[in-house]
A = this chain, B = another copy of it.
Amino acid sequence: MRGYPLKIKRVIENLQKLPGIGVKTAERLAMSLLRRSKKDSIELAESIKDMVMNVKYCSKCRNFSESDVCDICSSPSREKNIICVVEQPEDFFAIERAGEYRGIYFILHGSISPIEGIGAEELGIDYLVKRVKNEGIREVIIATDPDVSGEATAIYIARLLQDTDAVVSRIALGIPAGGHIGYADEITMIKALEGRRRIILE
Copies in the complex: 2
Size of interface on A: residues with Cβ below 8 Å to B: 60
Interface flag for A17 (CB, 8 Å) = yes
> Which of B1, B28, B50 interacts with A10 by CB under 8 Å?
B50
In the bound complex, CA of A10 to CA of B18 (Å)? 18
In the complex with contacts A19-B28, A28-B90, A8-B52 CB distance below 8 A: no
Q: Is the CB of B65 within 8 A of A5?
A: yes
> Which of B1, B7, B65 interacts with A66 by CB under 8 Å?
B7
Q: Is the CB of B28 within 8 A of A20?
A: yes
Q: Contact string, A19-48, partner B, CB cutoff 8 A, digits 1/0?
A: 111000101111111111010111111111
> Which of B10, B29, B46, B109 interacts with A47 by CB under 8 Å?
B10
In the bound complex, CA of A49 to CA of B34 (Å)? 10
Scan residues 43-91 of chain A and give those whose CB is less than 8 A from a CB of chain B: 43-55, 64-66, 70-72, 88-90
Some 17 contacts from A to B, beta carbons below 8 A apart, are A7-B47, A7-B50, A7-B55, A8-B55, A8-B64, A11-B44, A15-B44, A18-B44, A19-B29, A27-B93, A28-B90, A30-B51, A38-B52, A41-B49, A42-B52, A44-B48, A45-B48
**10 interchain residue pairs of minimum CB distance:** A3-B96, A14-B44, A45-B45, A45-B48, A7-B51, A10-B47, A41-B52, A45-B49, A5-B66, A11-B47
